[in-house]
Amino acid sequence: MYLTKEQERMLDGEHGEIVARMMHLLVRLGEIYKADKMITIASAQIAGVSYKSIGDPGLEFLKDIANKGARVKVLTYLNPAGIDIEAWQDIGFPGDFAKKQMEIIDAFRQMGVNITATCTPYLAGNLPRFHEHIAWSESSAVSFANSVLGARTNREGGPSALAAAITGFTPNYGLHIGENRRPEVVVKVSAELKSISDFGALGYLVGKEVKNKIPYFIGIKHAGVDELKALGAAMAASGAVALYHVAGITPEASIFENELKLEGIEIGNEEIKKAYDELSNTADIDIVVIGCPHASIKEIAYVASKLKGKKLKKELWVTTSRAIKEIANRAGYTEIIEKAGGKVVADTCMVVSPIELMGYKRMGVNSGKAAKYLPGFCKQQVLFASIDKLLEKVVK
Ligand code: F3S
């Protein structure tokens, strides 16, 4: 792989031990995937932030490199942590867990990382432009950036995203190259998609089927940001889809429309209904959590509109980024949700927080991704349904 003089010097240790280690990791990765060179990135997004995911070994590693002077070179955001960083005590996150989590946060802060803790960085100030190269690792954010924004990133692991953040480079392979962004499977959608969770159900089905291939959807008549983030997140969870195209909607779809062989899979109303059944194994719930991927201001406004003047008989969280929560506070949505008995929880989510240690066993979600992960990762029984149906169950 070609390296510039500057990159050679980084590799040889002229910029310190940590930069050299990170450059070695990237060069190794580049060699494995036959990259021709390193490319400059505009931003990084690092997963592996929750203490639940990385434990003591991850914490020790981060503290070690932070103490040895690791510093990020580009705009760098974090994936959700395991707690609400500001309100963890009020919400009831366990103290021991919170202490460890804050040590992780402090190590990232020492490295110059923005303590954003969100899987929707594109809604919270880290918005890449079309064709910009980035190194992101949260699978749903990777999918959104590639597919909806037309930015270019591989599905990085936490360590390779951190290495890219510290060096400012990533190896040029995979989805950074235009040729590799061609669709591989056509998905004909004849189902009527009426809610965000319908898009999650569709994503769950397609991800299972296509694994890590690039799907090209035809037949989706309308999809906004919230629907597309739900679709991409679910496909990245049940499969490993890092890029998809939607005819007439996503920015690169038209480039490929003349070269599609019209074979592939078809998803109708029947299949969508089956996905709901497959992802649900309880009708009773202890808590509803909306906001996987992290809720947009529009989603929070919708929940608030449904809860205005009402009271909840069960717990309800809306999980989001700190930035979006600030907007919700100013708009009065947080107050409405809290008056009803719910919470707007920032910096974390139902999957990466230690929710199973907090007494919850049965969770209602409108996210295909959360429904897929909750049984294994959080020992939850799941009711997967639309926001409207979930609220019907928990409003008095
Ligand atoms: Fe985000 Fe947590 Fe879902 S990280 S995509 S809200 S599982």
What is the per-residue pLDDT across 92-101, written as a single tens digit (0 to 9) for each?
Answer: 999 999 999 9
Q: How far is the CA of 93 from the centre of ligand 1 (A)?
A: 17
Write the CB contacts of 196 (distance below 8 Å, at least 6 apart in sequence): 226, 227, 230, 299, 366, 386, 387
φ and ψ at residue 188, rounded to 5 degrees:
-90, 120
Task: List pocket residues of ligand 1, CB cut-off 6 Å.
Answer: 79-80, 119, 140, 233, 292-294, 319, 349, 351-352, 369-370, 373
Taking the whole predicted model, whether its pTM rises above 0.95 is answered as yes
Please report the pLDDT score of residue 260 as a whole number: 79
- pLDDT for 103 beyond 70: yes
What is the SS3 string spanning 82-146?
CCCCCCHHHHCCCHHHHHHHHHHHHHHHHCCCCCCCCCCHHHCCCCCCCCCECEECCHHHHHHHH
- Report the distance separating Cα 288 and Cα 365, nearest Å: 6
Mutate to test the pocket of ligand 1, among 294, 324, 374, 377 (most ligand atoms within 8 A of CB): 294
Take atom 3 of ligand 1 and give the residue whose Cα is closest.
292
Q: How far is the CA of 376 from the centre of ligand 1 (A)?
A: 15
Angle between helices 17-32 and 158-167 (to 10 degrees): 120
pLDDT tens across 180-222, in order?
999 999 999 999 999 999 999 999 999 999 999 999 999 999 9
- Residue position matching structure tokens 């037309």: 150
Which of the residue ranges 65-69, 237-241, 256-260 would you say has the lowest mean pLDDT?
A: 256-260
- pLDDT for 258 beyond 90: no
Q: How far is the CA of 229 from the centre of ligand 1 (A)?
A: 11
Angle between helices 368-378 and 196-210 (to 10 degrees): 70
Mutate to test the pocket of ligand 1, among 49, 84, 140, 317 (most ligand atoms within 8 A of CB): 140
Enter the tokens of residue 79: 């994936």
Q: Which alpha helices (H) appear in the chain, and where do they start and end?
A: 5-11, 17-32, 51-67, 88-91, 95-110, 139-144, 158-167, 196-210, 225-238, 269-279, 297-307, 322-331, 333-340, 368-378, 387-394
Distances (CA, A) of 245 to 35, 96, 144: 24, 44, 11
DSSP code string of 253-267: GGGGGGG--S-EEEE
- pLDDT for 263 beyond 80: no
Please report the pLDDT score of residue 256 as a whole number: 92
Kindly state the percentage of the chain with pLDDT values over 70.
99
Confidence of residue 338 (pLDDT cuts 50, 70, 90): very high
Neighbours of 130 (CB within 10 A): 10
Q: In the 8-state DSSP scheme, what is residue 355?
A: G
pLDDT tens across 212-222, in order?
999 999 999 99
Mutate to test the pocket of ligand 1, among 349, 367, 377 (most ligand atoms within 8 A of CB): 349
Please report the pLDDT score of residue 261 as a whole number: 72
- Per-residue pLDDT, averaged over 352-363, amounts to 97
Distances (CA, A) of 275 to 100, 267, 326, 393: 37, 11, 35, 20
pLDDT tens across 280-336, in order?
999 999 999 999 999 999 999 999 999 999 999 999 999 999 999 999 999 999 999
Distances (CA, A) of 305 to 41, 290, 299, 310, 388: 40, 14, 10, 10, 11
- Report the distance separating Cα 334 and Cα 316, nearest Å: 12
Give the closest residue to 302 by CA, choosing from 230, 387, 199, 381.
387
Q: Sign of the CA dihedral 115, 120, 124, 126?
A: positive
What is the SS3 string spanning 159-180?
HHHHHHHHHCEEECCHHHCHHH
Please report the pLDDT score of residue 105 as a whole number: 98
Take atom 2 of ligand 1 and give the residue whose Cα is closest.
349
Enter the tokens of residue 179: 């040729």
Please report the pLDDT score of residue 262 as a whole number: 60
Indicate the average pLDDT of the chain.
97
Neighbours of 246 (CB within 10 A): 23
Please report the pLDDT score of residue 314 as a whole number: 97
- Per-residue pLDDT, averaged over 351-356, amounts to 97
